[in-house]
């Protein structure tokens, strides 16, 4: 199993190019199952989760033509596609559940494994299933599989989600766009990645309109050939912004629209970062002394992203004074705390709150990744630690960050991947 060796502390300086968004690419790739015509998707990130989704599409019968740099894919579906999404592919990634809505909407049946992914909480799929049921899907769960079918086309309806859910919103949009009649989805998640999905579908002739948290979908018979470029990864951009702030760095972050990480940038300004915005660039300088932020709360977009919580925790460890982080999205999202304590952090957990005593002097240690975002927090902490840290189980990182060690090396981080 691969691991990272990081020799800290490092001074971060230079330019970083942000890759395409993993969280936008996954639903867009799942939605390609709705097409009879070829589809071209550009600006894909080269990460493990995208490979998993492409392999899943292949297993369902899609012909996949990848460009030389693997960032562009042409997808051609067969006339008769398979509708079985196997456990061996779905177990490694929750995003795989997004093929369910597409398969039932297009082929009126599916056998899809219950999903896997990071160990950050229950993340049940009951909202997905309840919404698809309202559209006309009948299902039972047997031997770890969702056996689903519908009598002919799904039919438009009004669905109000009991709780804001990114995945359930995506699955419902995908299913509804080729359903019969009009669907109105209320209390939707409105993350930029969801807007990217609907922009993609509209580029192919779907009729989707937004009004606040309400999504109106007029079903169409079929989707047309399209070429679409995926948005940049806001979590990757946010992570590099924290890295610069944390290490008294000086970074130019390219290929990012600052509006999609406005909430996180305003927090970094509070912490003392100097930020300048240009068209698709962010210039960010870290302060000599990081200021503590009394209360950071994760929340659905446009609040602080839960995927940025662990990075902000590392930042607050180095801040002057005490701060509190409240995790409102996932119940198991403090798995990185034990590892940060091994580096010297003073953090107490009380239910969904982390109380952080600042002024930590991180000292290198051997560490273990538990999930995708937790592992990037350990990388950030190792960058500002004294000595050589070893980070194990970095396959979590490879799921969501494209060639992160190459990007870090270019900006001054002493990092080495040891192949295991």
Q: Collapsing DSSP states into helix, strand and coil, what is residue 354?
A: strand
Chain Cα centroid distance, residue 183 = 26
Helices (H), 177-320: 192-203, 234-246, 262-270, 309-317
118 is catalytic: yes
Helices (H), 108-165: 126-134
Selected catalytic residue, list 10, 118, 177, 317: 118
CB 231 within 8 A of CB 7: no
Residue 99 sits at the vertex; the CA angle it makes with 133 and 188, to the nearest 5 degrees, is 60
The radius of gyration of the chain's CA atoms, rounded to the nearest angstrom, is 22
Residue 79 main-chain phi, psi, to 5 deg:
-65, -40
Q: How many CB atoms lie within 10 A of CB 157?
A: 16
**DSSP letter assigned to residue 292:** P
Both tokens of 5, joined, read: 């060796």
Q: Which residues participate in catalysis according to the annotation?
A: 118
């Amino acid at each position: 199993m691969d691991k990272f060796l990081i020799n800290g502390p490092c001074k971060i300086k230079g330019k970083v190019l942000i890759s395409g968004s993993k969280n936008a690419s996954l639903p867009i790739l799942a939605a390609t199952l709705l097409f009879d015509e070829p589809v071209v998707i550009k600006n894909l990130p080269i990460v493990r989760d995208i490979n998993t989704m492409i392999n899943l599409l292949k297993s369902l019968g899609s012909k996949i033509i990848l460009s030389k740099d693997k960032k562009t894919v042409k997808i051609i579906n067969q006339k008769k596609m398979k509708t079985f999404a196997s456990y061996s592919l779905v177990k490694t990634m929750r995003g795989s559940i997004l093929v369910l809505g597409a398969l039932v909407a297009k082929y009126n049946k599916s056998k899809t494994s219950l999903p896997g992914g990071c160990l950050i909480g229950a993340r049940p799929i009951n909202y997905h299933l309840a919404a698809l049921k309202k559209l006309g899907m009948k299902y039972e769960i047997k031997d770890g599989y969702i056996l689903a079918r519908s009598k002919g086309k799904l039919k438009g309806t009004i669905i109000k989600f009991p709780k804001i859910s990114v995945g359930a919103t995506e699955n419902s949009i995908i299913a509804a766009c080729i359903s019969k009649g009009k669907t109105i989805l209320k209390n939707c998640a409105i993350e930029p990645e969801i807007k990217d999905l609907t922009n993609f579908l509209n580029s192919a002739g779907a009729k989707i309109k937004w009004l606040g948290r309400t999504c109106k979908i007029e079903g169409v018979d079929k989707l047309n050939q399209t070429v679409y470029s995926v948005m940049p990864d806001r979590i990757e951009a946010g992570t590099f912004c924290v890295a610069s702030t944390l290490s008294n760095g000086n970074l130019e972050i390219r290929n990012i629209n600052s509006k999609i990480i406005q909430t996180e940038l305003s927090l970094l300004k509070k912490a003392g970062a100097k930020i300048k915005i240009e068209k698709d660039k962010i210039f960010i300088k870290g302060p000599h002394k990081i200021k503590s932020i009394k209360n950071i709360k994760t929340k659905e977009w446009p609040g602080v992203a839960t995927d940025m919580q662990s990075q902000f925790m590392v930042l607050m460890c180095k801040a002057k004074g005490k701060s509190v982080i409240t995790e409102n999205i996932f119940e198991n999202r403090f798995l990185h705390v034990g590892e940060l304590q091994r580096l010297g952090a003073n953090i107490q957990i009380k239910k969904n709150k982390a109380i952080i005593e600042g002024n930590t002097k991180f000292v290198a240690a051997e560490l273990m990744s538990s999930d995708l975002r937790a592992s990037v927090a350990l990388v950030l902490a190792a960058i500002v630690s004294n000595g050589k840290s070893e980070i194990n189980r970095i396959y979590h990182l490879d799921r969501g960050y494209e060639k992160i060690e190459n990007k870090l090396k270019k900006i001054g981080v002493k990092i080495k991947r040891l192949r295991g």
